Structure 1
């Protein structure tokens, strides 16, 4: 199970929000590229980069993403504000190893098929963000009437190579998480699933390592040091 540090970007800075809500910044660091490099130097084998400005339709941070890609040598998975096939292609050609599409994929699932055929399914990940048991889109501001297992099955059939499952109910709160929604999704789809949301202790990491999760994205807990990254890495091979 991969231990994946989150580098979330807003207004050119590395931030951590509570449940994705603007104005709830708890961590603000000036140089996202430097932060990304530090995670690589500490042993990260993949980075999770989210353009929060793009996701919230406030304007993107692509120049910052370019700086990160130049700075690090490990794979980068990136999402946030990918609203068109052209956006997706631009990022893939820019050097992002795996894009994470949410709103675009859910509003137009055939996009996943097109991108997977052109670039390979392993480079296309679909974000399924769950709030009150339903998937939400547009920076978590709009709720659909479908569950993550329902949409996960559709995305797998369309050629998605993986799923990022975020439990928005726990995102950024450092209050732990419920394992059942993840287990339901893992049972429904047989492609890699990366979990995110509420992971706040080493015990949470240990719990996830006992599932079939492909990886876990950790943000606030690493920046607030409620989880030591090197300790979490001990579970990467388990």
Structure 2
């Protein structure tokens, strides 16, 4: 299992929000590219970048994203505000290793096939955010009638190279994980699963590792010192 530090960008800073809500910033750090470099220096094998301004429709941070790509040498995965196929292509052409596509994939599943055919499936990840075991879109504000597993099977068929599964019910609350939804995906999907949401302790990581999780994204717990990144390298 590989642990991936999150670098969430809003208003030019590296931030951590509670439940993705604007105005709930608990961490604000200047110079996100330096933050990203520090994670690499600590041993990160991959970086998870989120353009929160893009996701919220309040702007974009492509200049900062380019700085991160230039300063670091590890693979990067990025989501937030990718609303058209051209948005995805722009990031892939800029040098992002893997784009993470959420709402657009739910609305237009065929786009995943198009991008996978052009860039390779390993560079295309679909984000499935789950609330009450239903996939939610548009920044967690709209609910679909399908479960994460139903969508994961669809996107595996469409050529996605991985699935980013976020459990909104526990995300950002620092209250631990709910392991059952993750196990359901791992037991039924063959492409890698990246898990995010609620990880607060070494024990959470131990459980995720034991059930076979491929990748884990951690944000708040790292920035608040609840988990020491160097300790995560044990996994």
- Same fold? TM cut 0.5: yes
Q: Is the 8 A contact 1:174 1:220 kept in 2?
A: yes
- Cα deviations by residue, 1:146-203 (Å, 9 ceiling, x for unpaired): 1100000000000000000000111111100110011111122110001000000011
SS of residue matched to 1:208: helix
Secondary structure of the equivalent of 2:57? coil
Q: Which residue of 2 aligns with 1:5?
A: 5
**1:204 equivalenced with 2:204 (yes/no):** yes
Q: Which residue of 1 aligns with 2:117?
A: 117
| Structure 2 partner of 1:107 | 107
Determine helix, strand or coil for the equivalent of 2:63: helix
- 1:107-146 to 2 correspondences below 5 Å: 107-146=107-146
Q: Which runs of structure 1 show a deviation greater than 2 angstroms over 4 or more consecutive aligned residues?
A: none
Name the Cα RMSD after superposition. 0.7
Aligned partners of 1:152 and 1:188 also within 8 Å:
no
Distance of 1:62 and 1:189 partners within structure 2: 32
Match of 1:63 in 2: 63
CA-CA distance at 1:64 after TM superposition: 1.0
Question: Residues of 2 paired with 1:94 and 1:140: CA distance?
Answer: 27
CA distance in 2, matches of 1:24, 1:103: 23
Rounded Cα–Cα distance in structure 1 between residues aligned with 2:159 and 2:93 = 19
What are the Cα deviations for residues 7-36 of structure 1, in whole angstroms up to 9, with x where unaligned?
001111100011111111110001100000
Aligned residue for 1:28, secondary structure, equals: strand
How far the C-alpha of 1:134 sits from its partner, in A, is 0.8
The Cα shift of 1:141 comes to 1.6
Give the alignment of 1:7-22 within 5 angstroms. 7-22=7-22
Look up the match of 2:172: 172
Equivalence map 1:81-100=2 (5 Å): 81-100=81-100
The whole-number CA distance in structure 2 between the counterparts of 1:188 and 1:146 is 16
Does the 8 Å CA contact 1:165/1:195 hold for their aligned counterparts? yes
Structure 1 stretch 106-115 or stretch 129-138: which is displaced more?
Answer: 129-138
- Cα displacement string for residues 116-135 of structure 1 (whole angstroms, at most 9, x for unaligned residues): 00000000000000011111
How many pairs does the alignment contain? 235
State the match for 2:72 in structure 1.
72
Distance 2:53 2:93 in 1: 21
CA distance in 2: counterparts of 1:78 and 1:211, whole angstroms: 25
**Is 1:214–2:214 an aligned residue pair?**
yes
Gapped regions of structure 2 (runs ≥ 5)? none
